[in-house]
Copies of this chain bind each other. A is one copy, B any other.
Amino acid sequence: MAATTLGFALLGLLARRPMTGYQLAAALKTPIGYFWSASHSQVYPELARLEAQGLVRHEVIGGPGPRDNKRYHPTQRGRSELGAWAGTPAPAMPADNRDEFLLKIYSSWLADPRAAAAMVARRRDEHRAMLDRYREIRAENERTRAAEIDDPTTPEFANYATVMAGISYEEHVIAWCDWLIGRIGAGAAPPADDSRR
């Protein structure tokens, strides 16, 4: 009877600020999209379902396009169910964590070692770029929201916590990539003496 995971994602956004479906879909690209994403074609039907369950309501607002523009906000029940869900342990660790990159590493012994090393290096650079982005967000948070990020009953605290998770995650992946590149280089392609070239 309660909402789906996507429903709770939408409620989590609406609890911060009432929004249109379009804005929700945009927010689910970045930065919340770093841990939960959805396309607008999923958002609109889900909003209708949440409304049918009495967890959100909307008012029609003037705006562009051929249809009514609707701004959604959570109901009292929506807020309390969201809070209850957030404090309930998830069924179990999925242990799933589908990761196509790790799957490639799993078969990397069949690939050309130089191609494999280059692939890992490229991925590491992508993670470095991501880390830089997270660090900027953290700095911004610490500058403008210094008071709220210490209070776990504010949305700013929750934002900060997820950004910290991102930073920690990227740092770990980068360190592992560097380790792996060193290993591939050391064990396979005994580096031809480049000093003569």
Mark A residues whose CB is within 8 Å of B: 5, 8-9, 11-12, 15, 30, 32-37, 79, 82-90, 92-113, 115-116, 118-119, 122-123, 126-127, 130, 150-155, 157-159, 161-162, 164-165, 168-169, 171-173, 175-176, 179-180, 183-184, 186-188
Check if B83 sits within 8 Å of A110, measured CB to CB: yes
Q: Is the interface of A mostly helix, strand, loop or mixed?
A: helix
Task: Please name all residues of chain B whose beta carbon is closer than 8 Å to the beta carbon of A153 when the two chains form the complex.
Answer: 109, 113, 188
Check if A176 sits within 8 Å of B165, measured CB to CB: yes
How many copies are assembled? 2
CA gap between A94 and B102 in the complex, in Å: 13
Of the candidates B83, B102, B126, B150, the one whose C-beta lies within 8 Å of that of A93 is B126
Task: Please name all residues of chain B whose beta carbon is closer than 8 Å to the beta carbon of A79 when the two chains form the complex.
Answer: 110
A187 and B89 in contact, given A15-B107, A33-B96, A35-B98 (Cβ under 8 angstroms): no
